[in-house]
Amino acid sequence: MKQLLLGCALLVAFAAHADEAATCSASAGAYRTGVVVMGPKFSHGQFRKGVELSHTHLKMKSDQDGKVYDVAIDNVFASGFEPNQRTVPTSLSAIKVNDRVEACGQLYTDGGVGIHWVHTNCGKKPTPNKPDGWLKVISADGQPGQNIESNTQYCSVFK
């Protein structure tokens, strides 16, 4: 009976993964899941319309290819972002080493392997260069959480 329940749980997790990957593809993004191997670190950025476009970086070992990806996260789209704060936003600082995450965004190879644009595109038509991406923490049962990068409060900064 335990094997049957485990099998059902794995099937549900696989189906959720396939749905998330398909949704990411429809949003013009590349999909990666994996384990966090280096926790969030704050990185300063340039200013636009008086708001610092800082980033948070973490490292994730990908399930898809085993590579360690730099995940470049735009703080301005993070839940709980405060303009000009000089620390990782609370929603991102909750991510820890060994957490599982999923990212939908744009892959890059400039200076290593990475994924960025893991955030909303503020309602614009998604393209491979500007996907409608996201970053989610995956729970212990394999289900993705809420998009941490869906804050649209500062979309006007990019118009």
Band of residue 66 on the pLDDT scale cut at 50, 70, 90:
very high
User: pTM, whole model, 2 decimals?
Assistant: 0.87
In the DSSP assignment, the letter for residue 63 is T
Instruction: State the Cα–Cα distance between residues 121 and 151, nearest whole angstrom.
Output: 10
d(CA 156, CA 123): 12
Domain residues of the chain, as ranges? 2-158
Cβ proximity of 34 and 100 under 8 Å: yes
The architecture CATH gives domain 2-158:
Beta Barrel (2.40)
Are 73 and 135 a contacting pair, CB within 8 Å?
yes
120-152 pLDDT per residue, tens? 999 999 999 999 999 999 999 999 999 999 999
Longest dimension (CA), the chain: 60
